[in-house]
Structure 1
Amino acid sequence: MALPTELLRRRTSCGPSKTLPTTTRPAPTSHTSSFSARPSSTLTPPILPDKAFTKPESTISVPPDLESQSRTSTSSTSSSTTLEEVQEAMAAAALTYSAFTPFQRISIIIICSLSALISPLSATLYVPALPAVAESLGVSFSKVNLTITSYLILQGLSPSIWASVGESLGRKLLYVTLLTVYIGACIGLAITNEYGVVVGLRALQALGSAPAVALGAGVISDLIHVSERGKYTSNFMALAGIGTAFGPVLGGVLAQYAGWHSIFIFLASLGGFVCIMIFVFVPETQRSHVGDGSLPSRKITQPLVPWLKCKAVKRVDEDGNRVEPMQKGLHLDLMGPIRVLREKDMICCVLYAGFCFMVWQMQMVSTSSQYSQKYGLGEMQIGLTYIATGVGSLFGSIVTGRILQHDYEKQLVWETDHDIVNSKDDDSILHVQGAKKEVEYIERARIWSLRYPTALYILTVIGFGWSIEYNAHIAVPICLSFLFGALNTSILAAFSTLIIDLFETSSFAATASLNLSRCILSAAGTSAVEPLIKSVGMGWCFTIMAGFIICSTPLALAEYRYGSKWRCQRIAREKAAARQRGELRSADMAEVEKRAGGTTS
């Protein structure tokens, strides 16, 4: 395949035209022989950059006959970037991204990741106990289902509500506040036998637990550089899938042997343990409060045991005055998550990931009734079948993390060889041995690997429905449930990582928007799955669901193709608005000084 001359003649940029300084790459030493330069044909994405992103002036001398040369011959020159150079650049960028040590970063993420278990466990532990709850409260099954409805409604809304104050409170203070609300709701549920109180406390429980996933994604964004963020986000998201899969098993055991109140005693204990760990050990990480971690934080957010605390650097401004901790007043911005949804790239990401997650939730909800009716399984046996989904989620997260890391490195090699300019400030495109530190086309690095999981996910959805329709051996739908969990987690982890990459400064609000979209679509899907199965059967029901995924796939393709353009346009608007706000503030200050001078005279 011929190498397009247009790509080498122009450099990608979202800002004013500028030329990178020439960087001389040293010749690879003997220890780099194992990382020989790859042919660039293996590194080239199938869709090349648009002309809208390229500079009009040529800065690279291109021979007239370059179009007739193959990519292999081009990459064989000494200027090709080796994988080792890229890995060294990524390691340098990751090391300087945060002042916390690698041990401190991993420890903080592990502690905060425990909170990601709370929300799915709160939803799924309760499901096997519904008959016992209805009998204990003396209400019908339709009424006891309202306790689930109230939880789902607040589960979708609460991240958006808390995101409005999250930037003001900081990560740690918001964690402690949320977990305190959650623990209080669990204690109330553990001692009450009133139906109305249960409905209200379930909503309060969701208010305190649901934002934990979005908040954890924000912590990862604070501590982990974009080059390593994929594997951390994948492992973090896997905990939510494991909680969803294993929750019914644990809930059935607790409800059967200790009563339904014991479920909330267990959840209160788990919430209390996580809250104590965060309060005692975890420092503040939000970059708008402590920068890279080296700025001193407010006393209220400092950990009691400073093992994981980064040593604060005493910084001074230009006048020699000490830089104090950033003090922020409480700022309520309820429209923040909604504003994020107005962006084209965000809409494509949340809708596609939301439809895939909706189909998975529909499979989780319909499984119990179908296994009971078609295969005659009991409650405990049905709970055990969910283990396959949990193991699949764990497997999918581990594999996806490695794939995202590999695709990022491959994209970085390709962009370095073709001298692609990063759309961020010049500081973000510093070179180490000629290799860039960050990828410009981050959309392609995250989405390219999903082409096979998406196709396999569609086939799995169809196969699962028809295997139950024709009463295939129970092992068939259980194995397909494993694929359900693995493939859905892969898609969700990739797009969750991409959303954090696109909205680094507002990752909490962006992840809350994703959660809101997922919950709304899942609520609609789970309420319609049983009537749809009764109308057309299990096979055609999931065939229709596969059709939803197929119809939403162009959204992912649009983000892959045009996401960089939309992102650059959004960054340009934000910079223009920031400049305008600065000019207005300068004009206001000049007017104030003018009036003050007139009054004095």
Structure 2
Amino acid sequence: MASELHSTSSKINLTITAFMIVQGVGPFLVASFSDIYGRRVTSIAALIVYLAVNIGLALQSSYPALMSLRCLQSFGSSTASIVCTSVAADLVPRAERGRYMIYSTLGVTVGPAVGPIIGGILTQFLNWRSTFWFLAIFAGVMTIFMLLFVPETCRAVVGNGSVSPSRWNLPLVQCFGQRKPSNEPNPSESGKLPPPPKRPTPLDSIKISMERETFAIILSTTLLYCEYTAVLSTLPSQLEEKYGFNPLQVGLCYIPYGIGSLSSRWTIGTLIDWNFRRFAKIHGVEIFKNQQSDLDSIPVEKARLQIVIPLLYGSAAVIMGYDRVMNYRTNLAGPLVMLFFVSHLVAGASSVLTALLVDLHSYRPATINTARNLSRCLAGAGAVAGAVPLINVIGIGWFGTMIAFIWVPCSPIMWGVYFWGYDYRQRKVLSQNKSSESSSDDESS
């Protein structure tokens, strides 16, 4: 790309940093819209933007155009990924949310592993423009799929499913030949509808992230994401330098990372759901299939973090191990095995922390996920920009040690949520109830 666009490799790499910055800021502008007006319309609009931009990227021939279009590409893809996580929160009860959250975040965790494989094959046998044509075709297929089959799930629009959306918001397979939908909720279910939504603003994500417990969890996910991006951003350069690999070989080395992310669904996802049910039983809360559980009686913070905290320490240890075996240029099996465990632990911990955030803000999943996404992407962009230069100074081995020791002093943040998060949430709910009662009394007067 640098040769064809008459630029330099460092300038081309800046498009990755710009992509990650917009990846954090972009959904910040539209997430509240998704929580109020619907997931379907937001995701379709994002996919259409993504489709058009990828066509432009395949046809452009200048560096300024590349940089501008990459920013728009990031806006479309990041908005779609945030909505995907919100759909899982709409549909899946808390007792089963652990493994389904891992499913909903597979695009973010497995995508960076599968992407280099496909990109390496296309670049090796065709050219770099073919990667954007591939993404355009893929986006087109997904847009058609959304238009035809995917229904609206936002609870502000359809409640718990008892309220039909407007006819224009129906999947095409339901729209044709269907009688005009009723917008009246089922009387027996009307109590489960959310409160009337407020007009969305970009500041909603900032406000929600400033809550004490929420801020602590978002900070932990940000540190975890920096570990993840630091490993992925340095992998190609390390494989090229130490093993002399070409782009296709580098792409194939991402396979263990993808397998590790995917396998966390069957291990960590199952374990976190089991632990939630165990806590519910201890506190006398009965779990019913496909029904939400009352969090007022369950310390969900402890149920989630009992699994997450060991994963966070484990991820720091395996990243340090990965960088050590890479530093000493061991047999290729060493870095690949460690890469599997890095992805397995990091993907599992990230998904469970996301599930905890959604548990605490169940009627605003897109807004809270945008707050999380904004923080981690901005920090991740810094990690990408600084990882390779730092490795050139201190070496890959000490780089992994530094990452591990950044997390260890910050781990008391999660311990604080573990011990005091439930009490803080109870006091906040009590305060809100008193405020609501006071407002009702004033209106009656």
> Counterpart in 2 of 1:171?
39
Quote the offset at 1:558 in angstroms.
1.1
Pairing 1:299–2:157 present: no
Task: Identify which of 408, 418, 430 aligns with 1:550.
Answer: 408
Residues 214 and 411 of structure 1: is their aligned pair in 2 closer, same or farther, counting only changes over 3 Å? same
- Rounded to whole Å, the distance in 2 between the matches of 1:398 and 1:266 is 30
> Counterpart in 2 of 1:26?
none
Pairing 1:260–2:118 present: no
Quote the offset at 1:543 in angstroms.
0.4
Quote the offset at 1:168 in angstroms.
3.4
> Counterpart in 1 of 2:275?
407
Pairing 1:536–2:394 present: yes
- Rounded to whole Å, the distance in 2 between the matches of 1:252 and 1:316 is 51
> Counterpart in 2 of 1:200?
68
> Counterpart in 2 of 1:492?
350
- Amino acid paired to 2:426: C
- Rounded to whole Å, the distance in 2 between the matches of 1:503 and 1:268 is 34
Q: Is the 8 A contact 1:165 1:330 kept in 2?
A: no
User: What percentage of residue pairs aligned between the two structures are identical?
Assistant: 27
> Counterpart in 2 of 1:156?
24
Residues 316 and 555 of structure 1: is their aligned pair in 2 closer, same or farther, counting only changes over 3 Å? closer
Q: Is the 8 A contact 2:35 2:367 kept in 1?
A: no
Quote the offset at 1:430 in angstroms.
7.6
Quote the offset at 1:331 in angstroms.
3.2
> Counterpart in 2 of 1:337?
205
> Counterpart in 2 of 1:39?
none
> Counterpart in 1 of 2:308?
450
Residue 252 of structure 2: SS of its match in structure 1?
Answer: helix
Q: Superposed, which structure 2 residues align to 1:61-100 within 5 Å?
A: none
- Rounded to whole Å, the distance in 2 between the matches of 1:437 and 1:221 is 13
> Counterpart in 1 of 2:58?
190
Quote the offset at 1:162 in angstroms.
1.1
Quote the offset at 1:551 in angstroms.
1.7
Quote the offset at 1:290 in angstroms.
1.3
Residues 251 and 581 of structure 1: is their aligned pair in 2 closer, same or farther, counting only changes over 3 Å? farther
Q: Is the 8 A contact 1:293 1:312 kept in 2?
A: no
Task: Identify which of 277, 283, 286 aligns with 2:151.
Answer: 283
Residues 297 and 317 of structure 1: is their aligned pair in 2 closer, same or farther, counting only changes over 3 Å? closer
Task: Identify which of 200, 211, 214 aligns with 2:79.
Answer: 211
Residues 139 and 303 of structure 1: is their aligned pair in 2 closer, same or farther, counting only changes over 3 Å? same
Residue 223 of structure 2: SS of its match in structure 1?
Answer: helix
TM-score normalized by the length of structure 1:
0.68
Q: CA RMSD in A?
A: 2.7
Quote the offset at 1:573 in angstroms.
4.1
Q: Is the 8 A contact 1:397 1:489 kept in 2?
A: no
- Rounded to whole Å, the distance in 2 between the matches of 1:358 and 1:443 is 23
> Counterpart in 2 of 1:10?
none
> Counterpart in 2 of 1:374?
242
Consecutive unaligned residues of structure 2, counting only runs of 5 or more, are none
- Rounded to whole Å, the distance in 1 between the matches of 2:419 and 2:396 is 35
- Amino acid paired to 2:367: A
Quote the offset at 1:437 in angstroms.
4.5
- Rounded to whole Å, the distance in 2 between the matches of 1:337 and 1:387 is 35
- Rounded to whole Å, the distance in 1 between the matches of 2:313 and 2:266 is 20
Residues 543 and 408 of structure 1: is their aligned pair in 2 closer, same or farther, counting only changes over 3 Å? same
Q: Is the 8 A contact 1:147 1:199 kept in 2?
A: yes
Task: Identify which of 319, 341, 356 aligns with 1:483.
Answer: 341
Deviations 1:445-497 (A, max 9, x none): 11112343233222212111221222222211111000010010111011011
- Rounded to whole Å, the distance in 2 between the matches of 1:201 and 1:549 is 35
- Rounded to whole Å, the distance in 1 between the matches of 2:430 and 2:417 is 18
Residues 253 and 578 of structure 1: is their aligned pair in 2 closer, same or farther, counting only changes over 3 Å? farther
Q: Is the 8 A contact 1:397 1:486 kept in 2?
A: no
Deviations 1:67-126 (A, max 9, x none): xxxxxxxxxxxxxxxxxxxxxxxxxxxxxxxxxxxxxxxxxxxxxxxxxxxxxxxxxxxx
Q: Is the 8 A contact 1:226 1:438 kept in 2?
A: no
Quote the offset at 1:359 in angstroms.
0.8
- Give the greater-gyration-radius structure (CA): 1
Matched pairs, number: 433
Quote the offset at 1:531 in angstroms.
2.2
Q: Is the 8 A contact 2:32 2:366 kept in 1?
A: no
Pairing 1:144–2:16 present: no
Quote the offset at 1:220 in angstroms.
1.3
Residues 315 and 169 of structure 1: is their aligned pair in 2 closer, same or farther, counting only changes over 3 Å? closer
Residue 297 of structure 1: SS of its match in structure 2?
Answer: coil
Deviations 1:187-243 (A, max 9, x none): 111222122122111111111110222211211121111111111111222332111
Residue 407 of structure 1: SS of its match in structure 2?
Answer: helix
Quote the offset at 1:365 in angstroms.
1.1
Which is helix-richer, 1 or 2?
2
> Counterpart in 2 of 1:521?
379
* Structure with more contact order per residue of length (Cα contacts < 8 Å, sep ≥ 6): 2
Q: Is the 8 A contact 1:294 1:313 kept in 2?
A: no
Consecutive unaligned residues of structure 1, counting only runs of 5 or more, are 1-132, 417-428, 591-601
- Rounded to whole Å, the distance in 2 between the matches of 1:576 and 1:212 is 38
Pairing 1:470–2:338 present: no
Pairing 1:512–2:380 present: no
Quote the offset at 1:415 in angstroms.
1.0
Deviations 1:6-27 (A, max 9, x none): xxxxxxxxxxxxxxxxxxxxxx
Q: Is the 8 A contact 2:280 2:286 kept in 1?
A: no
Residues 531 and 581 of structure 1: is their aligned pair in 2 closer, same or farther, counting only changes over 3 Å? farther
